[in-house]
Structure 1
Amino acid sequence: MTHFEQGTESAKRTLRRELLSVRSRLTPDDVRESAAALARRALDLPELARAGTVAAYVSVGSEPGTLALLDALRARGVRVLLPALLPDNDLDWGPYTGRDALVRVQHGRKTALFEPAGPHLGPDAVTEAGAVLLPGLAVDARGMRLGRGGGSYDRVLARLGNAGVHPALVVLLYDAEVVGRVPEEPHDRPVDAVVTPSGVRRFPES
């Protein structure tokens, strides 16, 4: 790793700690109210209206809530795919069939995740999505996303690129997590839009 790469990774770790500290102070009511607003905003996106399949995820803890949005997409007749974390940090995918079909999975010392209980479709299933909802901690004015650092979604984005498909990439965040600039590495790829409780911001340069 070069000195520049070490500096970038250190800056990312520092920013992650700051953002997670702010999230940790949110109350359950804060998270619930934001989730309802996020669902309303996201459902108005033309990219989601056009997509027959949406790859998404189940929020945990103080992450911007996604379950209300998942249920609304499913009620529309959209096929929703959810990730299941593999031992190498890659993601498998399975269909979302309702909250009662989610299982809580503890991956070592990491935060427990809610994953689809039914049969999984393989890592390449994400290439069928017309839109991909990405978790994150921040996005900047260029559309560059700061993730949690596990690398799972870097693999997803690389897989989409290798398959030659270009689904809409949308990140769900709190309002204060849209920042001036996040540290970036050569493999980082901008998203197309960010949805926050107060609105949508698009990044045409992406």
Structure 2
Amino acid sequence: MRRGLLTARNNLPAREVEKAGAALAARTARLPELARARTVAAYVSVGGEPDTAPLLAALRERGVRVLLPVLMDDDDLDWGEYTGAGSLAAVRRAGRMTLWEPAGPRLGPDTVREADAVLLPGLAVDGTGTRLGRGGGSYDRVLARLAAAGTNPPLIVLLYDHEVVEEVPAQAHDRPVHTVVTPSGVRRFG
């Protein structure tokens, strides 16, 4: 399933990715969950992911503190602050794609607990809010860290319309997301 979804993404024309990013930024920025947020954990899109650059810029423009992930050697995530496009550095991980990460100080894996909302990457979400990621477990660790701390920020996934599917494989450790945003709409779960 992952391979098929990634292939479909990689075959999208650049103009469609850009257009989806603009629509997602506008739709996501209007979410009530983000209207009250002072700190948002987000991510910089890579490859064929819906473009998050317009949303990151909109959040910063509103004065929101934006945390971005830094992939550690064990696939867990540290966090750094996004202060604009110039605060990112291209980081090539051995055998992986190039990621754009905050160039400033590392704030520690537990910093995500300060987030009032968490934007998660994904490949698909099903009708129960189960998210299918890339399979590395990085965000499973983030969600487990939030649960262990007793925090329950809104969990929001940005996808293309065709990536909201009937069912994705689920494991016992999977935690459902609260909201999926696509270029054509918003769907909330539970």
Is 1:116 aligned to 2:99, yes or no? no
Is 1:92 aligned to 2:83, yes or no? no
Unaligned runs of 5+ in 1: 1-14
User: Runs of 4 or more off by more than 6 Å in structure 1?
Assistant: none
Q: Which amino acid aligns with 1:62?
A: G
Q: For residue 101 of structure 1, report the CA deviation from its aligned partner.
A: 1.1
Residue in structure 2 matched with residue 49 of structure 1 by the alignment: 35
Q: Which amino acid aligns with 2:10?
A: S
TM-score normalised to the size of structure 2?
0.99
DSSP-derived class of the 2:94 partner:
coil
Residue in structure 2 matched with residue 4 of structure 1 by the alignment: none
Q: For residue 169 of structure 1, report the CA deviation from its aligned partner.
A: 0.1
TM-score normalised to the size of structure 1?
0.91
1:138 to 105, 124, 132: 124
Q: Which amino acid aligns with 1:126?
A: V
Q: For residue 69 of structure 1, report the CA deviation from its aligned partner.
A: 0.0
Distance 1:196 1:42 in 2: 9
Total equivalences in the alignment: 190
Structure number with the higher helix fraction is 1
1:150 to 123, 128, 136: 136
1:74 to 60, 65, 73: 60
Residue in structure 1 matched with residue 166 of structure 2 by the alignment: 180
Q: Which amino acid aligns with 2:78?
A: D
Q: Which amino acid aligns with 1:187?
A: H
Q: Which amino acid aligns with 1:52?
A: R
- Work out which of the two has the higher radius of gyration on C-alpha atoms and give 1 or 2: 1
Distance 2:100 2:157 in 1: 19
Unaligned runs of 5+ in 2: none
Q: For residue 57 of structure 1, report the CA deviation from its aligned partner.
A: 0.3
Q: Which amino acid aligns with 1:28?
A: A
Q: For residue 91 of structure 1, report the CA deviation from its aligned partner.
A: 0.4
Distance 1:105 1:136 in 2: 20
What fraction of aligned residue pairs are identical, expressed as a percent?
66
Residue in structure 2 matched with residue 83 of structure 1 by the alignment: 69
Is 1:27 aligned to 2:13, yes or no? yes
DSSP-derived class of the 1:95 partner:
strand
Q: Which amino acid aligns with 2:64?
A: V
DSSP-derived class of the 1:68 partner:
helix
Q: For residue 199 of structure 1, report the CA deviation from its aligned partner.
A: 0.9
